[in-house]
Structure formats: structure tokens, C-alpha cells
Amino acid sequence: MNILVLDFESYHDTGYSLKKLTISEYVHDPRFHIHGLAVRWPDGKTEFRTDVSVLLSELQEQFGKDLERTTVAVHHGHFDLCILNRCYGIRPRHFIDTMLLAYHVHGRRDAGGGQSAQLGDLAKLYGLPAKQDLDFMVGVRNPTVQQLAQLTEYARRDVEITAALAERLLPQITRPEIELPILMHSVRSFTER
């Protein structure tokens, strides 16, 4: 499968974060600021770029206006696909959300039992490299060269973990032609509102 993994990194602080706000509140807040976009290309190359509009234009040139010539993989698609749609007008036709795949395969922890679907917990479960900590970016709107280097490493690792999770979770879907559209429906309807 031709999979393109995407992961946005954005400004957050102790009072302004996805732990305190809904995704819509967060993205529409005047403090919203994108630091960059991490990409894992179908050939396995990873990069993190701060020139997000230029990068997205390059992706559209290769994969089509709505990235229809690839499958976009994200972890927590409500966030990344919301940004793609609301900030850049891109609505990927084919996408998978590894968080939703994990819920489907392992059950939801909040439903009694189940497995946490946080990226770090899933990385540990599947024996993947550990997810790094992002505390160094709390309250940082304009990163220093050193912070940007750390953020680049952090973001590139996240897309690697997401790609590896997709490789491990997709084979566990028994009827992908039925299950995947159902799983992704909630993300599509949320991000296109």
C-alpha cells in the first residue's frame, strides 16, 4: 500500500493545549500556530518542514489536489486532518487513523479493559522506539535552532512510529473493505464540518 504519514506540530502552553480545549477550540483560537509538518514518504524517507504550505504544494503535485493518489496515515486524525482541511483546504480521499485502528483491534480503555491508544503506549506495546517528550516546546512560539532540531527529531520519530503501527494494525483488520470506511467515517464527518 502507498502510505504517506503526516503529523502537524503546533504551539501549545500550560493553558492552551488539546488537554484543555477541544480540537475545534484549539485550531480556531488566535494562539494557534503551526510549527511544522512531519512527513514519512511512501519510500520511507522522513522529514520535518516549517515551510508547510510549500511542502503541501509538493505533496499535491505528486499525489493530487486532495492527495487522492496515496493513502494518508495519521495518529489522531481528528487533529491532523482538521488542520489539513480547515487551514489548507485539503481533504484526503483515502486515509487511515492508527488511533482508531488501535481502538478497533484492542478495544477502548475507557470502555472497560482495552488498550490505551496513545502513540507512546502503542509504541511500547508493539516494541517500537519510544515516543519522545515534547516538554521542551511548552510555551515556545518561535523555537531556537536547538529547539527546532529537537522538534525535528521528535516529529520524525512520531511519523516513523505511526507508519510502523499502520503496518502492524492493518493486517489485523479482517474485512478492510467494510471496516476501514466505517472507522474513518467519524473523522471525515468531524473534519469536514
Q: State the Cα torsion 166-168-47-45 to the nearest 10°.
A: -110
Residues in CB range of 39: below 8 A, 6 or more apart: 4, 5, 6, 46, 47, 48, 49, 55, 59, 159
- The pTM (predicted TM-score) of the whole model is 0.90
In the chain, % of residues over pLDDT 70: 89
How far, in Å, CA of 32 to CA of 52, rounded? 15
CA-to-CA dists, residue 66 to 72, 75, 93, 128, 156, angstroms: 10, 19, 6, 30, 23
Q: What is the pLDDT of residue 1?
A: 67
Q: What is the pLDDT of residue 115?
A: 80
Q: What is the pLDDT of residue 47?
A: 98
Q: Name the residue with cell 493545549.
A: 17
Which ranges of 64-114 does DSSP label H, i.e. alpha helix? 77-88, 98-106
pLDDT in tens, 8-49: 999 999 999 999 999 999 999 999 999 999 999 999 999 999
Let me know: does 82 contact 90? Beta carbons within 8 Å.
no
Q: What DSSP string describes 177-189?
A: HHHHHHHHHHHHH
Q: Which of 35-49, 68-82, 104-118, 126-140 has the lowest mean pLDDT?
A: 104-118
pLDDT in tens, 134-144: 999 999 999 99
Q: Is the model's pLDDT at 191 over the cut of 60? A: no
